[in-house]
Chains A and B, each alone.
Chain A
Amino acid sequence: MIRTRRPLLRLLLLVWVLLSCSRALAVEPPGLKKISFLPQWLPQAQFAGYYMAQHKGYYRAHGIELTIIQGGPSRSPTEYLKEKKADIVTLWLSSALQLTAQGVDVVNVGQIMPRSALMLVAKTSSGIKTPADMNGKKIALWPADFQIQPKAFFDKFDLTVQIVTTESPVNLFLRDGVQVSSLMWYNEYHTLINSGLDPQEMQLFSFDDYGLNFPEDGLYLLRETFEKDREAACAFAAASMEGWHYAFAHPEEAVDLMVSIMEAAHIPANRVHQRWMLDRIRDLTMPDAKGHQMGDLQVEDYQRVGDVLVANGLIKSVPPFASFFEKCTQHDQK
């Protein structure tokens, strides 16, 4: 029951990282810019676009020799960014704004996921059909930044709820330890489906539907890194977008790639689940009526997240949008 890190896993990881570095060093012609990148979690289809871009050589084509550092619970992207162990990381907008408030000047060079995948779920058997029905209920939330958006939601609907902080809400929710749980649409929602709950047995609450959209995965780097080589940062963003477009156009190939990467890293891999994840990421990045599109950060969304953070005392003021978001994926859009 002790869920310590696996020393073996770490070793393998290290070897893998080293191998990919040395391989790159061995064959790369001089002139490629070295960039290291840390996604905010373990390899999964949530990051298929980056792995695909790497696999298809898009980064090299953009003059970058990229090293993807395998993400996971032990690697905090904010720490890695601060300590310059990674040049570029993915972060949620809410985390990035707090980082800025802490004095770490970061730049967003691409808002990959413009819409929230974080949602709330209740079993329809519990009778919870509207936000008001959640009043007085036990609600499982992940710790820290995962609680900002749900709390804003509870405030908005003036709900008094009993928050149960957890690192694994799925079983707690399934066993009725809580009546409502937060989940990622592309991940835990599917886990619930594949634990025997039919979609019609669940009531989903998407924050976007309640006017509380929080952009999620974005590409961040320190301003000083950015200023040093804007071109490389934008090239990274452009190559990443290309990787995503390719992955969406070739989902089976992308899933194959992710499953092989996960298996090599000894992470339990389930094809069906990875396919679901990729398909939902695609849904979340599709352009919509509100002007959302992959790579682009809407100023309204930015302001909303900032305001919520200010209201919760997490930051003192919202930094100017213009300096925070560098719209350098533009040339990819033509």
Chain B
Amino acid sequence: MIKSRGIAFRMGAPVLAGSALVFLVIFSIGYLHSRETILRNVQENAQNLARRIAHRIELVLAPVEKVPENLDIVLETFDVNETKIIEVLRSTLHINPEVFGAAIAFEPYAFDPARLYFSPYMSRKGKGFQMTHLGGKGYHYFYQDWYQIPRETGKSSWSEPYFDEGGGDILMATFSRPFFREKEGTPQFTGVITADISLEWLEKIVAEIHVLRTGYGFIISRNGAFIVHPQKSWILNETIFSIAEARNDPALRAIGKRMIAGESGFFPFTGDVLQRPGFIYLTPVGFSNWSLGIFFPTNELMADLDAFRRTAVSLGLSGLLVLILVVWLVARTITRPLRTLSAVARNMATGNLEIEVPVPKTGDEVAILAESFNYMKNSLKVHIRELLAATAAKEHIESELTIARDIQMGLLPKTFPPFPDLPGFDLYALLKPAREVGGDLYDFCRIDEDRVCFFLGDVSGKGVPAALFMAVTMTLIKMTAAKGLSPDRILREVNGQLSRDNAAGMFVTLFCGIVNIRTRELWYANGGHNQPVLLRKSGEAIFLEGTDGILLGAMEDIDYAMKRIVLDAGEGLFLYSDGVTEAMDEQERLYSDERLLEALKAMGQMSSAEVVESVAHDVISFAGTAPQADDITVMMVRF
């Protein structure tokens, strides 16, 4: 429907863009707000969950930590021998079902000056107990963490978890407490009391953490080693730092450092097994600087948000679609009459002014436009009717003019050579008419056996009057010449006739000559016409001597002078109208007398026809594309 940005597009695009922008802003604010709320809620829930888990873990660990303390009190209070110690250990396991094993390890020779190692260790075996003495050539317990750390730090501590190598792959941890005995008034480090527990329950507690769909909890030791993790192969094999190193992930290492530093908080997390993006809530657990992390995959965390986003986006898109439809419908009520109008206008352009212009009833701008169209159509009809009439009239006149022209041209003789019985006498003439009807004329006639009269003239003005005046002039000359008068008398006679009833005030320039074929004598008179050119035998071209006569038709009773020359064989006379010398080229330069003389110089030996055609051709090629303003008339008479 949107064709090359029509009204529908121009109207619809800003409306839609604006609506989309408003929607986007509202949606983004809503999204960010919801995201923040969700994260805050999750954080609170995670905190509660983590605290609960941590508390449950501490509930198990706390009594275990009491065991060595109680043993210490028993040992200190009662003077015990080896048998007693073993009994105490046995009953300790009895009353503390969570304890897997307990040992009392003495410093070298501290219990018995004869024994380097003395460390009775009572542990569970099946349903009963098993008594072992730790220490020996392959096992220097003094060099072990569980003994050495409390010894060197003077503080109780939990060992790093380890797999119990004797009893299968059970994850164990040992709580060690140093004990001191007075010696010469000062407390002296005497040994370490330990309690081992299996950490199987730890895995169960953490496995109960169900966050979202696939979120999970994990615990790392104070060295960052994984103690509980859904990825079993990581347990005690990887630390959070080795994972960070393998993944080249400094952010994960930073989280690891927060965890082993005992921090709590909610952070983005990149340490998932599958490397899904997510968040972690971390909190210390136990009294052991272990750290619990609860992982929330972002995609699940944001599942509600995603649903909201999907709904919002689909609602927004549907809204936009409805909006598009509405805009389209509204635009159509405007564009349809416009398109109809457009079709009507095209139809009108082909000339169909009878077509009905529908005017919508809406009364809006389109209706006004349609009314304007109607008005225009009616005006056009009137104009075209008038125009047709005018055109018809003009055509009529033009056709009449053409006929007049044809008649005019028909007056001129066109048969050459005109006197085939007169050898040695060569006459040729040509009139190239201008587009408009002009008034040039020429003619010739035989007066008697030896004499030929010829003349060439130019009527003032143009059009039908000039043509008529030319016809009158030609008739008068022919009639007058037929009387056998001399050229001066012919001019006087014709002038008299033309001037007498010359209401139109028209006139004509005329050159008239009579030539005796035998004697080659030429008598001539000129009535204001361009002076003809004499082509000498020597090749010279010179203007004929003038007779100073005025043009014909201006006033009655004018006498014209006559002159006589004798032409030699090969000599001739070139007559022309001002259409030749006043022909203009594209730069509006005149053809000029000089150019004419120059052109004629080269034509001394040519026949009359050749001279006439050459000059006519030269003038036309000089004019080039410039329109021909006047008739071009030339005549050549020669022997």
Contacts and interface: CB of A to CB of B under 8 A. Distances in A.
Contact of A195 (B132, B143, B223): B223
Contact of A171 (B160, B166, B194, B257): B160
B259 to A, nearest CB: 8
B242 A194 contact: yes
B138 interface: yes
B149 interface: yes
Interface string B227-246: 00000000011110110011
Interface in A136-188: 138, 143, 164-168, 171-172, 174-178
A193 B101 CA distance: 32
A240 B260 CA distance: 42
A2 interface: yes
A271 B123 CA distance: 35
Contacts of A273: 242
A196 B152 contact: no
B579 to A, nearest CB: 106
Nearest to B235: A268
Interface in B374-420: none
Contacts of A175: 149, 153, 157
A227 B364 CA distance: 119
B224 A194 contact: yes
Interface residues of A, number: 33
Contact of B239 (A168, A195, A198, A269): A195
A102 interface: no
A44 B93 CA distance: 39
Contacts of A27: none
Contacts of B239: 194-196
Given A1-B162, A2-B132, A273-B242, A166 B143 contact: yes
B148 A270 contact: no
Contacts of A193: 241, 245
Interface of chain B: mostly helix, strand, loop or mixed: mixed
A6 interface: yes
B121 interface: yes
B132 A164 contact: no
A194 B151 CA distance: 25
Given A1-B172, A1-B174, A2-B166, A269 B145 contact: no
A163 to B, nearest CB: 12
A3 interface: yes
A2 B165 contact: yes
A195 B240 CA distance: 8
Contacts of B256: 196
B164 interface: yes
Interface in B497-526: none
Interface string A253-295: 0000000000000001111110000000000000000000000
A271 B241 CA distance: 13
A272 B242 contact: yes
Contacts of B224: 194-196
A74 interface: yes
A200 interface: no
B152 A177 contact: yes
Contacts of A171: 145, 149, 159-160, 223
Interface residues of B, number: 45
Contacts of A270: 237-238, 242
A165 B143 contact: yes
Interface string A62-95: 0000000000011000000000000000000000
Given A176-B153, A268-B237, A2 B223 contact: no
Interface string B142-185: 11111011011100010110101110000010100000000000
Given A168-B144, A177-B149, A2 B242 contact: no
Contacts of A268: 236-237
A176 B101 CA distance: 27
B196 interface: yes
A239 to B, nearest CB: 32
Contacts of B172: 1
B139 interface: yes
A73 B165 CA distance: 15
Contacts of B246: 271-272
Contacts of A194: 224, 239, 241-242, 245
Given A177-B152, A272-B246, A1 B236 contact: no
A148 B159 CA distance: 29
Contacts of A165: 142-143
Interface in A1-49: 1-6
A208 B159 CA distance: 34
B152 A172 contact: yes
B52 interface: no
A268 B172 CA distance: 16
B103 interface: yes
B571 to A, nearest CB: 119
B219 to A, nearest CB: 15
Nearest to A195: B223
Nearest to B136: A4
A172 B145 contact: yes
Contacts of A269: 237
A143 B143 contact: yes
Contact of B138 (A6, A74, A177, A196): A74
Contacts of A73: 138
B348 interface: no
A165 B236 CA distance: 25
Q: Which of B123, B132, B225, B238 has the most CB of A within 10 A?
A: B238
Nearest to A167: B143
Interface string B243-286: 00110000000001100100000000000000000000000000
B140 interface: yes
Contacts of A195: 223-225, 239, 241, 260
Interface string B311-340: 000000000000000000000000000000
Contacts of B159: 1, 171
A168 B151 CA distance: 14
Contact of B134 (A2, A6, A172, A174): A2
Q: Give the interface centre of B162, B222, B242, B246 by most chain A CB atoms within 10 Å.
A: B242
Contacts of B245: 193-194, 272
Q: Which of A143, A196, A268, A270 has the most CB of B within 10 A?
A: A196
Contacts of A271: 246
A218 to B, nearest CB: 26
Interface string B113-142: 000000001010000000010100011101
Nearest to B100: A1
B288 to A, nearest CB: 11
B152 A164 contact: yes
A166 B148 CA distance: 8
Given A74-B138, A138-B152, A177-B149, A1 B242 contact: no
Contacts of B238: 270
A270 B239 CA distance: 10
A129 to B, nearest CB: 22
Contacts of B148: 164, 166, 168, 172, 177
Given A172-B145, A196-B257, A1 B196 contact: yes
B146 A1 contact: yes
A171 B162 CA distance: 13
Candidate in B132, B134, B148, B257 with the most chain A CB atoms within 10 angstroms: B148
Contacts of A164: 148, 152
23 contacts: A1-B146, A1-B172, A2-B134, A3-B165, A4-B138, A4-B165, A138-B152, A164-B148, A164-B152, A167-B144, A168-B148, A171-B160, A176-B153, A177-B148, A177-B152, A177-B153, A195-B224, A195-B225, A195-B241, A196-B239, A196-B241, A196-B257, A271-B246
Given A171-B159, A193-B245, A270-B238, 20 more contacts: A1-B159, A1-B162, A1-B196, A2-B164, A4-B138, A164-B148, A164-B152, A165-B142, A171-B223, A172-B149, A172-B152, A174-B222, A177-B149, A194-B224, A194-B239, A194-B245, A196-B224, A272-B242, A272-B245, A273-B242
The 3 lowest CB-CB distance pairs between A and B, nearest first, are A177-B152, A195-B223, A167-B143
